[in-house]
Amino acid sequence: MIRPADRVRHRLGGAAGILCGLVGAFASMQLPLGNARLLGPGAVPLVLSLAMIGLSAAMLLRPAKPEPADEEDGGLHGAAMVGIVVLLIAAFGFLLTRIGFLLSGGLLMYGLYAIGEERVLSLGALVKAVLSMIAAYLLFVVALSVNMPAGSLWGYY
């Protein structure tokens, strides 16, 4: 049986995802989108924001399913994890223009992987974060020729 609080949480999560996706889509529309031959810096964030809106709408519209009995209720532990992820994303946004995409993105990815492994210090999370940043560099800079923010710390704006 699904409790009313679970239904509300499910719906609020979908609504929050749509709101974040709309903010991301609006922000990415402020950047040049480019064309089919050469994508601009706003193209990939726009596509990701639209995907987030679609997935969140599906989450908002589909009925909530009861969780298995052996899983935790969420409670403070679940709320703390969500809070930590929000703080990591805010730190990424703050650090992006200061230390650049690769370093701030690497820190974000390390934090997310460490949360997934439930360990603050993790060699596995570090390796995954480095591999994620290498993949991001190869995708954006090498394959798509998109200039990523280098950061004011290094003298670039």
Q: What is the pLDDT of residues 39-58, one digit of tens each?
A: 777 887 888 888 888 888 88
What is the pTM assigned to this prediction?
0.57
Q: What is the pLDDT of residues 112-143, one digit of tens each?
A: 888 888 888 889 999 999 999 999 888 888 88
Report whether pLDDT(76) > 60.
Answer: no
Amino acid identity of 101?
Answer: F
3-state secondary structure of 34: strand
Could you give the count of Cα atoms lying within 13 Å of 138 in the half-sphere of its Cβ?
6
Q: Cβ neighbours of residue 44 under 8 Å, at least 6 residues apart?
A: 140, 144, 146
Inter-residue contact 114 to 120 (CB < 8 Å)? yes
What pLDDT is attached to residue 101?
85
